[in-house]
Every structure is written in C-alpha cells, then in structure tokens.
Amino acid sequence: MARVHNFNAGPAAIPEPVLEKAKSELMEMAGTGMSIMEMSHRSKPFEDIIARAEAGIRRLLGVPADYAVLFLQGGASLQFAMLPMNLRRPGRSADYIDTGSWASKAIGEAKILGDVNVAWSGKKDSYSRVPNFDELSLKPDAEFVHLCSNETINGIQWPAFPKTETPLFADMSSDILSRTIDVRQFGLIYAGAQKNIGPSGMAVIIMQKELAERAPAEVPVILRYSTHIKDNSLYNTPNTWGVYMTLLTCEWLESLGGVAAIQKINEQKAAALYQTIDSSDFWRSPVRKEHRSGMNVVWRLPSEALEDAFVSKANKEGLVGLKGHRSVGGIRASIYNVITLQSVNALVAFMKEFEKKNG
C-alpha cells in the first residue's frame, strides 16, 4: 500500500529515510547483534547514540556550551509541572502568557504549585493572535516568563519573541527545528518529540545549566533537572528508541542543509496553503494573518457538514489527519518539517476541486 499524505498533528509523520534506516537496524544495529530496544542504556554503543543525538540538536540549533540538552520521558505535558517545580522558588511568582490550549494547560499546572501572573490572555479574542509586546503585563520580580511558541490547536505562532528582564521559557513542541532561533534568548526550551523530532513518549529540554540550581529541596530527585544534567539523561532508563530516532532525524535534517534550509521549504508550504485559503470566501482562517502558524494551518468551511464531507473525501484521496482538534472543530493541516511541498500541493489541488464542486 502506498504511503499517505500524513497531516496528523502528533504523533506525526517521520522522514521516510529515517524509517528505512530504523527498519534496516531494527533487528540488529551496527554490529552489536541486538536491536536498539534490547540494548543496555549503560552500554558503550548506546552512550555513543545519546551523545550523537545531543550533538545533533546542538549543531542544528546552535546550543551554547553553558546549556544542557536533556532527553526526558513524559513528553511536554510533564514539563508543565516539572518546570515550575524546579524553577519557581518558594514564595515567588512567575509570568505566563496565555495564547491557547497548550499555554492554558501549562498555566493550570503552574497554578497548582504556586503563584502565577497571567501577563496576557487571548481568550477574549478566541485565541486568534499572540500579543504585541507592549500588551504584556510582566512583573519585574517574576522568576521567569513562559510562553508557547506555536499553538498546535489554535494555529497561531509567535513571529518573534519578547526580550524579557527575567528568563524566558518556551514550549516549542510543535515548531522546534522548523525555523532559526537564538537559543540565548531563552533560559529554557522544551519540546515534545512527536512532531518535528521523532516518536512520542519523550521531550527534549534545552536549558541554562545554572538555572537547575534553583530547585527547592522538596522536589523529588527524579524530577530535578540537576539530576538529569549530572547523569547526561541516564539517571534512569531513558526512552532508548526515542533517542535513537532523534539521532536519525537530526542526521536527516542536516543532510538537507539544517534548520535554515528547512525553514525556506516550510515557508513555501505555508504560503501555498494560506494563498488558497485567502483566495475565496469558501475558506476562512480564524487567525490574524501576522500570527498564522507555519506548522499548523487551521481553517473553516461554510458549514460543519461541509467540513465533515471535506475530511471524509480527503481521507479517501490519501490526505489524512485533516480533522480539526475536537475542542475547536474545523480543518487543520499540520505541515511539519517532514511534510513535503508535493504533499501540500496535493492538498491544495484537492481543496480547489472540492470548492468547485461544493462552492
């Protein structure tokens, strides 16, 4: 059976060369006589794999030496709790910017554990934009400022990031490795792996090492960043398969020319879709143009019945994963790094034909 055009939001498409390489090494990897999934995480072959995966992330994003790169289980959702547990000291507050579903979840977890200042919320605008920098009500004594760089569900993305007095932390789960960033602008970046990095079940954390010393004594040892920095993400058994797939994904992305090269392709893909959406009143984007996501393109049709028909017919044409998130409805095409311009063009052609028959 031919592979489909996979627009799923996550777990998402994985590069075919990565899948082929993993397939070839599934039973036996590099002369070890065993699969990566059977290998001790304390063995020299696996230590080499995790070191190369870390080096790949560092090269692709230009991560400085005073930052740690960690591979932790629990995905980005665990980081919603782990981050404030470690990095907001007792009696202190933290600034959070509410731009959508995932930022809201992070705020909810942080409120359980201590004081939160919601510096701005887009809820009144139905999460259709990110704030202008002068709209942010930041506290000068806050421990950190937290934002979500790209809202997967609502289809909005920060085109640039605010410069803050206190450390800036970002959930980059759905746009990491898709565009160039200055890592030094952030104290901490975290990202679930299942969109642009690899399979689900793991998060990549990039953080200033000195921040890890903030953790209060009552934080459990396994939930301290300092524990995992000290043991190079090997304090307990990591997601060995996830680390291995991250390595292969980094190698694939470097073979294409790195983040700057994939950014140009991503911009072409997003432009093709948004031009189609803006071409007639049959399609409607709920997001302000300047804040539209380059990774998760969302739109509506004149009725829910037409949206259901669109998704159903698209599935039959091998265009899958286009149903919007259950909390907002509509249509969503997730066009992460792996999605080719050819797949986007196939979707555009289908959209034009669907409008011709139903407009």
For the segment 283-310, what is each residue's pLDDT rounded down to a tens digit?
Answer: 999 999 999 999 999 999 999 999 999 9
- The predicted pLDDT at position 354 comes to 98
| Residue 9 domain flag | no
Active site residue 252: no
Based on the domain organization, do 289 and 212 belong to the same domain? Answer: no
Based on the domain organization, do 201 and 272 belong to the same domain? Answer: no
CB of 335 closer than 8 Å to CB of 344: yes
Based on the domain organization, do 28 and 64 belong to the same domain? Answer: yes
| Residue 10 domain flag | no
Active site residue 231: no
**351, 321, 272: which is closest to 6 by C-alpha?**
321
- The predicted pLDDT at position 95 comes to 98
CA-to-CA distance for 265 and 178, rounded, in angstroms? 9
Based on the domain organization, do 191 and 329 belong to the same domain? Answer: no
Based on the domain organization, do 196 and 306 belong to the same domain? Answer: no
Q: What are phi and psi of 332, to 5 degrees?
A: -145, 130
255, 289, 305: which is the final residue of a domain?
Answer: 255
Using a pLDDT cut of 70, give the percent of the chain over it: 100
Based on the domain organization, do 240 and 284 belong to the same domain? Answer: no
Based on the domain organization, do 93 and 210 belong to the same domain? Answer: yes
Based on the domain organization, do 123 and 52 belong to the same domain? Answer: yes
Six-digit token pair at 281? 């009143």
Burial of 221 (0-12, 13-18, 19+ CB in 10 A): exposed
259 pLDDT exceeds 90? Answer: yes
255, 278, 308: which is the final residue of a domain?
Answer: 255
State mean pLDDT over 171-200.
98
* DSSP helix/strand/coil, 252: helix
Of these residues, 95, 98, 102, 120, which one is catalytic?
102
State mean pLDDT over 8-25.
97
Residue numbers of the domain that contains 343: 259-358
| Residue 110 domain flag | yes
Task: Find the angle CA(302)-CA(303)-CA(307) to the nearest 5 degrees.
Answer: 100
Active site residue 209: no
Cα-based torsion angle of the residue sequence 287, 102, 110, 73 in order, rounded to the nearest 10 degrees: -150
Number of other CB atoms surrounding residue 286 within 10 Å: 17
What is the bridge-based pairing of β-strands 156-157 and 150-151? antiparallel
Of these residues, 98, 120, 158, 195, which one is catalytic?
195
| Residue 8 domain flag | no
Which pLDDT band, with edges at 50, 70 and 90, does 42 fall under? very high
Based on the domain organization, do 317 and 193 belong to the same domain? Answer: no
The 8-class DSSP code of residue 2 comes to P
Which pLDDT band, with edges at 50, 70 and 90, does 273 fall under? very high
Of these residues, 171, 175, 283, 299, which one is catalytic?
171
CATH code for position 246: 3.40.640.10
| Residue 88 domain flag | yes
- The predicted pLDDT at position 2 comes to 84
- The predicted pLDDT at position 359 comes to 83
| Residue 149 domain flag | yes
CATH code for position 277: 3.90.1150.10
Based on the domain organization, do 237 and 347 belong to the same domain? Answer: no
Number of domains in the chain: 2
| Residue 3 domain flag | no
Which pLDDT band, with edges at 50, 70 and 90, does 30 fall under? confident
